[in-house]
Amino acid sequence: MSLSMYQASVPQFIRMLTNLIGILEKGAAHCDARKIDPLALTQYRLYPDMFNLARQIQTACDHARNAAARLAGQEAPRLENTEQTFPELIGRVRDTIAYLETFKAGQIDGTEDREVVVKRGETVNTYRGQDYLVQRALPNFYFHVTTAYDILRHNGVELGKRDFIG
């Protein structure tokens, strides 16, 4: 049995975003238990030229939303990046999951050869659907989820592989 475009995307995004909620909840609990200002963690970055935790979460959500929408031939809603607190970030992840749950397999399956256009400023890249999913959307999504995990783990939040994988 082959893996469909839908199975390789939406359920995987939902699974990892669900795990990300648990990771963020542990981050919030860590701050509460140790009387740490939560903004010290949500604004933390691993290196000066990297996004902070809040932006990692926002970007992971954007990649998941945009991937599902692009594969389905739709435009994902644009969101402002205003979330800074753990509850706000968890809300963004929950909203992203709710959005992803609106997609049905029939909207995404069979899109392996669909043209997907990604515009960033003046740059326009065109991909085949499968190439977009496998070479751009999934790697970017996992990069930002992993980096969010790493920021919290680096700052002493008790996380393990099971928190990441689920």
pLDDT at residue 2 greater than cutoff 90: no
* Nearest-angstrom CA–CA distance, 111 and 70: 10
Give one DSSP letter per residue of the chain, joined into a string: -PPPHHHHHHHHHHHHHHHHHHHHHHHHHHHHHHT--HHHHHT--SSTTS--HHHHHHHHHHHHHHHHHHHTT--PPP------SHHHHHHHHHHHHHHHTT--HHHHTT-TT-EEEEEETTEEEEEEHHHIIIIIIHHHHHHHHHHHHHHHHHTT----HHHHH-
As for how many domains the chain has, the answer is 1
Q: What is the CATH number of the domain that holds 53?
A: 1.20.120.450
pLDDT tens track for 20-74: 999 999 999 999 999 999 999 999 999 999 999 999 999 999 999 999 999 999 9
Question: Does position 3 have pLDDT exceeding 90, yes or no?
Answer: no
Query: Greatest CA span in the chain, whole angstroms?
Result: 52
In this prediction, what percent of the chain has a pLDDT beyond 70?
99
Q: Which domain holds residue 14?
A: 5-165
How many whole angstroms separate alpha carbon 14 and alpha carbon 46?
Answer: 25
- The pLDDT tens digits for 111-131 are 999 999 999 899 999 999 999
d(CA 148, CA 154): 10
Each residue's pLDDT tens digit, 76-95: 999 999 999 999 999 999 99
Close Cβ partners of 130 (under 8 Å, ≥ 6 residues apart): 5, 111, 112, 113
